[in-house]
Amino acid sequence: MTRPINHDFIDYDAYFAQRIQDLKDEGRYRVFADLARRAGEYPRARRYDANGEPLPDVTVWCSNDYLGMGQHKAVLKAMTRAVKDYGAGAGGTRNISGTSHPLVVLEGELADLHGKEAALIFTSGFISNEATLSTLASVLPNCHVFSDAYNHASMIQGIRHSNAKKTIFKHNDPSDLERLLREADPAVPKLVAFESVYSMDGDIAPIAELCDVAELEGLMHRLTVIEGTLAKAFGVMGGYIAGSKALVDVVRSFAPGFIFTTALPPAIAAGALASVRHLKASAAERERMHDRAARTKRLLTAAGLPVMPSVSHIVPVLVGDAARCKQASDLLLDRFGIYIQPINYPTVPRGTERLRITPSPLHDDAMVDQLIAALVEIWNELDLPFARG
């Protein structure tokens, strides 16, 4: 017998509205800016209001298209060509007619990029982390995972979904990892998971030292499996892993996040392939990006703005409060036509809310100067703390 549903029991919509109101009260309700990038004119973008009416153009300062490869002629040409040659969609999962030639070629190119035997492509970096970590840590009997405290949400999800034992080591701290590995059961397989560049702080893992520590414990290879996204520096979309043939095959054969979802469309794979090939041969985009990031950091520091220490191209500026971070971001967009979204909890710890600036090769000197002037005005207007000293 079917039990009658008591619709009065709980008003779900009221409950959902309350959860959203809690976010609004904390100042961390997310509102998306409705933008359309202009191919060939990036980082300029069109902006639309809630009714779809155009607003003045903006300059984007927070994109993860770090090198501007999402606008690169070689990438656009490869994608246009692939749409003409192969059509739009993938046609299925990799098992059901979704394996297309560009995917196979891209996997070969990525394996070569990382000096590994094989690679496997997923529909996003998130999925590649989730699928790979959950599969490896559940396939290995009694696997014990050691995870950096600042690991990305996709890695945390993957480890959680494996149901393996997990121990968190202090962020970027090889001695803490060593201590924890020594305390662990020597007989069980262990997996150490960390990132290379931490994308919210811009710091870089001490990869060699972490591998040295793991080596003491009988490491398989120094970097057994490398995961990457095709959506940021490569400017397109998708994720991948690179590793030994056997490891890649086990993920290919056991990971639900790989098996039960439609493959990346061939045109996306062709664009990513053009991007990977271009960046293998050219350092110009990276050099220019680092030059832009250095100039931005230098001028922010000179203006007394609280730029957080970062050794990479990521330039975080500390606000330290969710509501004021959102206010600063709104003012930047509405008054100055500068788009930098607020970064709030849970993406970063509470109290470290920030504006995360990502200078690209395409941000010119005038754009940097305009950004600094706008930030100084907003810092004064909102009475935000400048850097001490």
Ligand X SMILES: Cc1ncc(COP(=O)(O)O)c(C=O)c1O
Q: Which residues bind ligand X (CB under 6 A)?
A: 124-126, 129, 152, 154, 195, 199, 229, 231, 239
- Which of 356, 358, 333, 359 minimizes the C-alpha distance to 344? 356
Minimum CB–partner distance for residue 204 and ligand X (Å): 12
Minimum CB–partner distance for residue 346 and ligand X (Å): 13
Minimum CB–partner distance for residue 340 and ligand X (Å): 16
Judged by beta carbon, residue 150 or residue 339, the one nearer ligand X is 150
- Which of 150, 62, 63 minimizes the C-alpha distance to 328? 62
Judged by beta carbon, residue 199 or residue 310, the one nearer ligand X is 199
73 classed as catalytic: no
Q: Exactly one of 24, 165, 170, 232 is catalytic; name it.
A: 232
Name the pairing type of β-strands 315-318 and 144-148: unpaired
Judged by beta carbon, residue 136 or residue 231, the one nearer ligand X is 231
Tokens of 61: 């300062």
Judged by beta carbon, residue 116 or residue 152, the one nearer ligand X is 152
Rounded Cα distance between 253 and 216, Å, is: 31
Cβ–Cβ under 8 Å, residues 202 and 313: yes
Tokens of 76: 């656009």
| Three-state secondary structure string covering 312-369 | CCCEEEECCCHHHHHHHHHHHHHHHCEECCEECCCCCCCCCCEEEECCCCCCCHHHHH
Judged by beta carbon, residue 151 or residue 327, the one nearer ligand X is 151
- Which of 132, 159, 61, 74 minimizes the C-alpha distance to 360? 61
Judged by beta carbon, residue 227 or residue 285, the one nearer ligand X is 227
Minimum CB–partner distance for residue 227 and ligand X (Å): 7
Cβ–Cβ under 8 Å, residues 254 and 86: no
Residue closest to ligand X (Cβ): 125
- Main-chain dihedrals φ then ψ at residue 331, nearest 5 degrees: -65, -40
Tokens of 198: 């931490």
Minimum CB–partner distance for residue 344 and ligand X (Å): 15
For residue 11, what are the contacts with CB-CB under 8 A and spacing of at least 6? none
Rounded Cα distance between 101 and 219, Å, is: 35
Minimum CB–partner distance for residue 140 and ligand X (Å): 21
For residue 54, what are the contacts with CB-CB under 8 A and spacing of at least 6? 46, 47, 48
Residues in a beta bridge with 242:
119, 226
Rounded Cα distance between 311 and 158, Å, is: 28
Rounded Cα distance between 194 and 321, Å, is: 28
Rounded Cα distance between 90 and 273, Å, is: 16
* 100: DSSP letter: -
Judged by beta carbon, residue 174 or residue 239, the one nearer ligand X is 239
Minimum CB–partner distance for residue 228 and ligand X (Å): 8
Catalytic residues: 232
